[in-house]
Every structure is written in structure tokens, then in C-alpha cells.
Amino acid sequence: MASTDFSRVPATQAPGSIRKYLDPTEEVVFHRRFHWAVLLEPGAVVAVGLAITSFAAVAVHSSGGGNAREVVIGLWILWAAWALTTIWDYKTLTGFYKGSASGRLFAVVLTAGVLALCGYVGKTKGVATLLWCVLGAFGFWALLQFARYWNRYLILTNKRLMVAEGIVNQQVKSLPLPKLTDMIYQRTALGRALGYGTFDLQVPGAAVNLGKIPYVGSPDNTYLQISHLLWGASGPPKPKKIALSGQIAQAPRAGETPAGPPSNITVAGEMDG
């Protein structure tokens, strides 16, 4: 789609994957998946983890190695910490231990349970098996991210902006365009190189906030399309053709006989709509 193409498609002609979310009176400006760069992080987690776990599994069985063995194990621990923060950032992780009393208790019990399970697997199956199990858990998470990518859409209609996502449980967030009075459009150096951007659509007082939407594909086009709907000039109205008809009777001058019958007259032209 060219950046200047502001055409629309009736909701009844939209693909079935999004038509179920639309009102028949809506017109679709665009619908698209998010940029494939969203898969870089989970892909990197699995690729790096596979390499480090392979070396670490050999290192834990090695009777020698000295400092090299400790370095490999240390790298594996750093990778596991990085992988964990790709799922939950540090703020979310620490938030589990700063909430209500019941929330803190649940976090402590869950942490103790995970550590106990890891200890049991490591003791009964060996440390190498434990390392591979952890990698398998992160690999499963990465597969879910790929599945989520194929079922997540950004949709813009003439009435609202929507994010539809979900594999089993589906969720649709929508923001009516009249409530969107401003937005922030950002592109990092990597985003400019790969072709994606981030939109911040926080709307004070809105019941539903789309918030920051990262990894938006064709970001310049997306920005222009939203801007056109919000602030684009509609252009001058098309002129309407009109026709006026009537009769004109001429008044007789002083001393003259009465005028004849009135004359029919028709005036045709155009006026602004």
C-alpha cells in the first residue's frame, strides 16, 4: 500500500480472521500482523541457550576443567537470568515480593517449589538433565511467542484502532478514534534498520488504554493513516447541481396597457455542498 493510499474496505469484505471483530458499518483502513522483529528475542534466547547448555552439560560431567568449567556454569546462570527477564522484567519480578501479604506468600511458596523441583531433578536425574529441562521450558515459551505472532493483528478502521490477539483465549482491545487526541511515534536505530516502530497511545480517562504498542510494521504508513483519520483535511465539499424554476410577471409602466401573461424562467447551476 502506498503511503498516500487512504482507501478503505467495507467490513463485510474484510478477511474472516478479523471480520468477526468488526461492526458491519465499519470500513477497514488496514490490518496487519506485527513486525517479525518481535521474534528476535525469543529466538535469540533459545539459540544462545542451546549453545551454552550444550557446553554446560558437558562441563558438569567433566572431572577437570578448573576455571573453564566454572566460567561455563556461570555463563549458563547469566543466560537463565536473561531468559527469565525476557518473560518478566525486573520490575514485574520484584513486584511479586512487594504486593499484598497473600501475594508475597504465594511468590515465596512458588519460588520455594521451583527450587525444590530443580533440586529434585538435579539429584535424581543429574545436573545436566536439569539444565536441559530449563532450556526446554524456555523453548516452550518461545514456541508460544511464535504462535502468538501469527494470531496478533493491528487493525485500523474509520472508527477505532484495535489490537486483536490470542491463541486459545482471545482478547480484543479497541480505542475509539475520537478519544485519541494525540500519540507518540518512536523509531530506534534498530527499528529504522529493520522497519518497525513503537506507538504510545495512552489516553487519560479512557476505560481501555492500548498503551505502548511496539514492533508495529510499516510504521510510517501506519502513522500517516492514523493521522489522516484524526486530523486530515476532508477537502472542499463537492458542488451540488441545482435548478430553479419559476415565473416572472412584468409590471406595466404608467400609461401602458396591462402586461401580458407571466414568463416561465429556469436557472441551472452549481453550489457548494
Answer whether 273's CB lies under 8 Å from 238's CB.
Answer: yes
pTM value? 0.71
- Going by C-alpha positions, the residue among 176, 152, 266 that lies closest to residue 230 is 176
* CATH 2.30.29-classified regions of the chain: 9-34+152-231
CATH topology of domain 9-34+152-231: PH-domain like (2.30.29)
Q: What is the pLDDT of residue 95?
A: 66
* Separation of alpha carbons 185 and 191, rounded Å: 12
SS3 137: helix
pLDDT in 10s for each residue of the chain, 273 residues: 445 677 888 988 888 888 888 999 999 999 999 999 999 999 999 999 999 999 888 887 776 656 777 888 888 889 988 888 888 766 666 666 666 777 777 777 777 887 788 777 777 878 888 889 999 999 999 999 999 999 999 999 999 999 998 888 888 888 888 888 778 899 999 999 999 999 988 777 666 678 889 999 999 999 999 888 887 655 455 666 776 666 666 666 655 555 566 666 666 666 655
- Contacts made by residues 61-66, CB under 8 angstroms, sequence distance 24+: 61/128
